[in-house]
Chains A and B, each alone.
Chain A
Amino acid sequence: MKRLLSVLLISVIVAGCSNEQSFEPVEIDPEVDVCEVCNMSVSYHAYATQLYSKDGDVFLFDDVGCMFEYIDKDQQIAREDIEVQYVRDLETEDWIQIENAYFVYNPDFWTPMANGVVSFKSEEQAKEFVQEQGKGEVLNYDQLLEHKWGWEG
């Protein structure tokens, strides 16, 4: 009996150890999840973003602008300590790694914190959105890094 117990215990511990840190995007619960920067509830799914630190902590934002504010203005985390950042496709709400996403900016686009930047899975979809709206400027990730945000004032 004792041996069985110890085998069980060891197997549980081993199972626990073998569990690698996962950096998969977390599910958003709008009831309790709030933006790390502006305190607003993450109610609008399509605009939500998230960031994993190398330590495995996850931070949620209601607007891609808030995520940039968190890194660049508030300097809450250094870029080299970031493992991965996710944004969402505006239409399908699928999570995309930020480097692979395409963005459309126009100050008239409504976003939760009025940053006017929305994200898409592919460049074609971004261009389609611009055509639909009749305005907007398509940016890739590198261009977004150079973008001047509303909060930079």
Chain B
Amino acid sequence: MRNVVVKGLGFILLLMFTVLMRSPTTQAADIQVSAGQSIQLAIDQATSGDTLIIQPGTYTESLTIEKAITLRGEDGVVLEAEGEGNAITIMGEGVTIEGLTVQNSGLNKTDSGIYVQEGSNHVIKDNVFKDTMNGIYVNKSQDNTISGNQISSVSEHFSNRGSGVFVLGGSGHIIEGNVMMRVQDGVYLESVSNAILRNNQALGSRYGLHLMFAEDVVAEENHMESNITGLMIMDSKRIRVLDNEVINQFHVRGFGLLIYESEDLLLEGNEIRQNSTGLSLEKTVDVEIRRNIISANQVGLEFIGQNKNNIFTKNNFITNIVQSKISNNEMQLDNGEVGNYWDDYSSFDITGDGIGEETYKAGSLYDQLLEKQPYWQFFFESPSIKLWSQAESFFPSISADVYDVRPLVEPVQLADDAAVGETSRDLGVLIVSLAFLWFSILCIWLGRNFA
């Protein structure tokens, strides 16, 4: 009897299972779309979960997607929007778009290659955007992934271009591995929370990454080069800027990093090299800045207005033309234990703990004069200014007091791989010298034998 019940139950379960498997709603189909057909027509006929595989060719149309489908372009699929509005508009949940070349959107401010109007969990990856006003515009939606795209805007002055990825509101986005060239801002985040910007490249644009009213954003391992400003953080909170390269922002108004009216930030492991101004902080509170390289900038570090609690530790300030330009209230830069390496610092380390005995003073009276009389830049490094600065250092109370009590006498060894490189070079030297040694012994031995 019991056996029968068990068998019966098993049969019923099996039946339910097969019925579920057969259910048409769970069966996702692959639909082929080939050149000459309309992608929009295929989208209209598809059901959620379907994948549209687009065959190579140029498709002249604009698309609207409202269901959870995947659009996958084979190599050489071009979507041409003919200068009208958005090429693709996305609504609903879980739309995936990959492998398309999207070109020629309209020229209004919000016109885009892909316009995400609403929804969540959309994936936009490995697409190419050409001559689109904005590449991807994400309006108030959640948890989208934007990765591996190549974006360039229209060939206009940057004030008439759109951004690579423009995100307005919403949260939880991951923006990773995109390359943005000649756009307005590489990635623009406004009123966005919980976003990750990783491994993106922004080149030849206005601002590489631009954060406004953003909260809880991580920007890591991005590469910003030859923009007006590499990374612009404005009115934002809880931002972590880690291991980025910010190079060659040499525009007359150029900055490596410009941080304005923000609070609770961490800047760690960044390389800020060859910019007009490397790092500028204005009206910014509670910033931890550690283990960065700030080198070869025209101005290394700039403070404007009232900053509070900006803690600098183990940074290398090297070969900046002007190390720092300070117009600020009193502030101690080090954390009381360890400070930074400033290559214009000269004092002695008597105690041998790697920390100079004299306090390093950032900025000078000259900086404050420059702010009021910009033309006095003419006297930069002139004997009179040098004499003045020297005299002033004997009466430090005159100038703005921004100082490092624990300056380092040696540069900080930042990258671990640098140390690895050094040991391997040592090994190389050892092998070569051993070879030479053997060779000379051989010569001596041969010489003796033949003599």
Distance in angstroms between the alpha carbons of A110 and B213 in the assembled complex: 13
A43 touches B252 (CB 8 A): no
A30 touches B159 (CB 8 A): yes
Q: What distance in Å separates the Cβ of A42 from its nearest Cβ neighbour in chain B?
A: 8
Closest partner residue, chain A, to B252 (CB atom): A32
**Would you list which residues of chain B between 222 and 261 have a CB under 8 Å from chain A?**
228, 232, 234, 252-253, 258, 260-261
Contact (A114, B212) CB under 8 Å given A38-B260, A39-B258: yes
Closest partner residue, chain A, to B168 (CB atom): A110
Q: What distance in Å separates the Cβ of B272 from its nearest Cβ neighbour in chain A?
A: 17
Closest partner residue, chain A, to B228 (CB atom): A41
Distance in angstroms between the alpha carbons of A40 and B206 in the assembled complex: 10
Chain A binding surface SS class: loop
Binary interface encoding of chain B residues 372-398 relative to chain A, with 1 for a CB under 8 A from any of its CBs, else 0? 000000000000000000000000000
Binary interface encoding of chain A residues 29-45 relative to chain B, with 1 for a CB under 8 A from any of its CBs, else 0? 01110100011111111
B258 touches A45 (CB 8 A): no
A38 touches B228 (CB 8 A): no
Binary interface encoding of chain A residues 100-114 relative to chain B, with 1 for a CB under 8 A from any of its CBs, else 0? 000000000010011
Distance in angstroms between the alpha carbons of A110 and B110 in the assembled complex: 11
For B191, the chain A residues whose CB sits under 8 A away are 114
- Is B59 in the interface zone, CB < 8 Å from A? no
For A45, the chain B residues whose CB sits under 8 A away are 159
- Is B190 in the interface zone, CB < 8 Å from A? yes
- Tell me which of B158, B258, B261 contacts A43 (CB under 8 A): B158
Binding site for A on B (CB under 8 A): 157-159, 168, 184, 190-191, 206, 212-213, 228, 232, 234, 252-253, 258, 260-261, 282
Binding site for B on A (CB under 8 A): 30-32, 34, 38-45, 110, 113-114
Beyond A41-B228, A114-B191, 16 additional pairs, beta carbon < 8 A: A30-B157, A30-B159, A32-B252, A39-B232, A39-B258, A40-B232, A40-B234, A41-B253, A42-B159, A43-B158, A43-B159, A43-B184, A45-B159, A110-B168, A113-B212, A114-B190
Q: 28 A-B Cβ contacts within 8 A?
A: A30-B157, A30-B158, A30-B159, A31-B159, A32-B252, A32-B253, A34-B253, A38-B234, A38-B260, A39-B232, A39-B258, A39-B260, A39-B282, A40-B232, A40-B234, A41-B158, A41-B159, A41-B206, A41-B228, A42-B159, A43-B159, A43-B184, A43-B206, A44-B159, A110-B168, A113-B212, A114-B212, A114-B213
